[in-house]
Amino acid sequence: MCYGLANVIKKKPYDNLFIHKKMSSVFGSGEISTSDEYLHEITGFIRVHKDGHCERLLGNNKLPAGIDSSTGVESKDVVISPETNVSARLYIPKSATSDRKLPIMIYFHGGGFVFESTTSAAYHSTLNRFTAELNVISVSVDYRLGPEYPVPAGYNDSWEATHWVASHSAGCGPDTWLNEFADFSKVFLAGDSAGANIAHNLAIRFGSDRIAGINLEGIILIHLYFGGNDPIGSELGKHKQLKAFTDQFWNLANPSGTGLDDPLFNPEKDPNLSGLGCSKILLAVAEKDSLRDRGLHYKELMEKSGWAGKVEMLESKDEDHAFFLFDQFSQNTSTLCNRICTFIN
């Protein structure tokens, strides 16, 4: 059952703490820093100082777990790996009862692999909303970030978190919520931007290395972050500069990899697309997003790959990258939530 957004969420005082600036793109003007003051700088997002420490300019407003007064959703933080300090924030709707198991949505946040977290105001409020609206148990994974922990650390952490979720399938895992309320026959990997990239690549891995105890029914990819050496679509024209700007995140997170044509970043170079380990994909793109054409290209690749599943697509008109994080009460955000809810349920 899908619960109407207006019925479960009231506006909260922190909704505007993560501000969507009125500019040509959510990525700003796309200007690339030429300053020699830092080892690396992605303007407006992250600075790597010469002593090696990172200064992240977004996602620093943190919110604690607890009961959300607007939705009734309850959240808590759990440690998945003491060795790597990987953790997750779990969310459960107030409607949860032990006699009706709920689908599981394992969510990976965005941030170009180098910033953001499960505890930031933008993601905590979004996961409260998703959990209430979709009527799911949400597991929001706090994977390690580059450049301190380069790719593939974030992928490996996310894979470990998925194994951790599966460890509850027999009802005797370390977390009581998953033991009591979760339906392991309906598991979805989801994420936005870099998190959507992670969700796709984990589904590829799942296709050849199944995790016992869970059925991966589908993946939800919102404004996915992919790229490649060769520009496509609008990257050849109006978004040429923004491609160069957004490519910086991958290069910073993966300095010793194979560059922009790494199969983790450019699915066209991945020979294993046909083995994607689920039966359906929900792909969400935004009309004004400089990454929109990467999403459309991904859809085309999957449909031509020989994969036997189905790709569903939603395009949000007149919206930019990750708009739903900035404006939780727009009609387009409501439409996105409703489409995800239908996909899951």
The pair of three-digit structure tokens given for residue 177, joined into one six-digit string: 């919520």
Alpha helices per DSSP H over 27-69: none
Distances (CA, A) of 157 to 46, 79, 143, 297: 22, 12, 5, 27
CB 127 within 8 A of CB 89: yes
Q: How far apart are CA 81 and CA 66, in angstroms?
A: 22
Specify whether the backbone of 50 is left (phi greater than 0), alpha (psi in -120 to 50) or beta.
alpha
Phi and psi at residue 188, to the nearest 5°: -130, 135
State the Cα–Cα distance between residues 315 and 209, nearest whole angstrom. 32
Catalytic positions are 193
Give the containing element (helix H, strand E) for 202.
helix 194-208
Q: Whose structure tokens read 């977290």?
A: 117
- How many residues can be counted in the chain? 345
User: Strand order in 74-81's β-sheet?
Assistant: 74-81, 86-92, 137-142, 102-108, 182-192, 216-222, 280-286, 310-316
